[in-house]
Structure 1
Amino acid sequence: MKSKRGPEDVEDLKLLQRVAVKDKVAFEKLYLRFYPQLSRYLNRLMRRPEMVEEVVNDTLFVVWEKADQFQGRSKVSTWVTGIAYLKGIKALDKLRTVPDQHADELDDNIEETNDPISKLGLDEWLTSGLDLISVDQRSVVELTYFFGYSYQEIAETMGCPVNTVKTRMFHARRRLAKLLPQLQEQGESSPGLLNSEGGSSKEKPSSSLKSNSDSSSDIGL
């Protein structure tokens, strides 16, 4: 099922269609359009500022090369962010000596109730706590609370079923809730410890956290 397109995505689609026939002017516009958004996302995902520019450029090179393969099953921004996610994960994998511990087993009955993050509120501790969970769990939290993505859009971005997204969010929330007392204590004893340069952590979470059916990725890497 195709995502409903707003005016911004319609414009992105027009640019991407021109990029698909190797229109360099259109690619420059698309590059300028997505570079800030991708830089912000990858900064938050990777926590490696020195690597971000290269990964953004790698991402947009793939967009240039594979624009004609976009099938329109998702928003253009979701497709591009999905490419950035895969490129970012691959870049981190090259550095990683110890594999991330993912708690990605599907828990079909996980609900969006009793949300400890919602109860505790978003503060500087959240940004600090995100450093202590797996990359995949962190990406789900980031895309939800800082970028306003729905679960369906996150599934399309990460190329996984919606239930996997829900499971990652569930485990991330539990882990962050357990970390809260320690992080608050550290923040009180060391002012500024929980401050983050990667955007405001007080942005409101998306109000459209949906529980949708499994989705297939529109990314052909």
Structure 2
Amino acid sequence: MDRRTDDPALLARTAEGEACLVGRIAAGDRRAFEALYRAYFPRLGRFLQRMTRSSALIEEIVNDTLLAVWRKAATFDGSSKVSTWIFAIAYRRACKALQAVDEPVEAAVDEREGADADRPDWQFERLRLAHAVDAALAQLPLAQRTAFQLTLYHDMSQAEIAEIMACPVNTIKTRLFHARKRLALLLDGQLEERP
């Protein structure tokens, strides 16, 4: 067998490979599940971090999601990407867990390398802007925040987000429109470049 199709960790790097892994998981392949788990645990954690601040709840939702993937792998029909299918499961599980609570979040600052990365004034400014964006995102309704973060942080199409959130594409367009409009108001004057 070709090394690329035999190594689950390599398969987890492409959409076609992920679909192959789900097929192997449906057949009970624990190595395939482990590879998919390792690939998705951090992604789902970042996604859920913007829905809740509770690390314990995030971990519980991620584990519930991936357990559902293990149990329901045979139901994956390939009509969507594996990532869309998994994020849809995570979104539904998170909505159930957060049904009574829509708490604001604190997201980690994106640490980027650059020529000015060591300058304290730039570090402070980057941190200030990250907190301003996070605070603004936290003020959005959950549905708008989720649609916006799936677009921005997970590079998903509106059709994929509609599938994840189980609503029409036009609803996603409306949510994104209102999210952008609200964020623009909330961040007015805060994202200007400073000397």
Return the TM-score normalized by structure 1: 0.64
Q: Distance in 2 between matches of 1:28 and 1:145?
A: 27
Counterpart for residue 151 of structure 2: 144
| Whole-Å separation in 2 of the counterparts to 1:60 and 1:43 | 16
- Structure 2 counterparts to residues 102-121 of structure 1, below 5 A: none
2:97 counterpart of 1:91: yes
User: Matches of residues 58-207 of structure 1 in structure 2 within 5 Å?
Assistant: 58-95=64-101, 123-124=129-130, 125-181=132-188, 184=190
Instruction: Kindly report the root-mean-square deviation, in angstroms, between the aligned alpha carbons of the 2 structures.
Output: 2.1
Q: What letter matches 1:156 in structure 2?
A: E
Task: Look up the equivalent residue of 2:79 and give its one-letter code.
Answer: R
Pairwise mapping of residues 29-40 of structure 1 onto structure 2 (< 5 A)? 29-40=35-46
Distance 1:165 1:180 in 2: 22
Distance 2:167 2:141 in 1: 16
* Structure 1 residues without counterparts, runs of 5 or longer: 1-6, 98-122, 189-221
Structure 2 letter corresponding to 1:69? T
Q: Give the ranges of 4+ consecutive aligned residues of structure 1 lying more than 4 Å apart after TM superposition.
A: none
Q: Deviations 1:78-99 (Å, cap 9, x if unpaired)?
A: 11011111111111114469xx
Distance 2:14 2:102 in 1: 37
Provide the secondary structure at the position in 2 that maps to 1:45. coil
Indicate the residue corresponding to 2:113 in structure 1: none
Q: Residue 23 of structure 2 corresponds to which residue in structure 1? A: 17
2-side partners of 1:141 and 1:162: how far apart? 13
Gap regions ≥5 residues in structure 2:
1-12, 104-128
1:138 is displaced (CA, Å) by: 0.2
Paired amino acid for 1:162: V
Q: Residue 49 of structure 1 corresponds to which residue in structure 2?
A: 55
- Larger RCO: Structure 1 or Structure 2 (Cα < 8 Å, ≥ 6 residues apart)? 1
**2:99 partner letter:** D
1:144 and 1:67, CA in 2 relative to 1: closer, same or farther beyond 3 A? same
Instruction: Indicate if the aligned counterparts of 1:55 and 1:87 stay in contact, CA closer than 8 A.
Output: yes
Identity %, equivalent residues: 45
Q: What's the offset of the Cα at 1:171?
A: 1.3
Q: In the alignment, is the contact (CA less than 8 A) between 2:52 and 2:102 conserved in 1?
A: no
The answer as to 2:32 corresponding to 1:26 is: yes
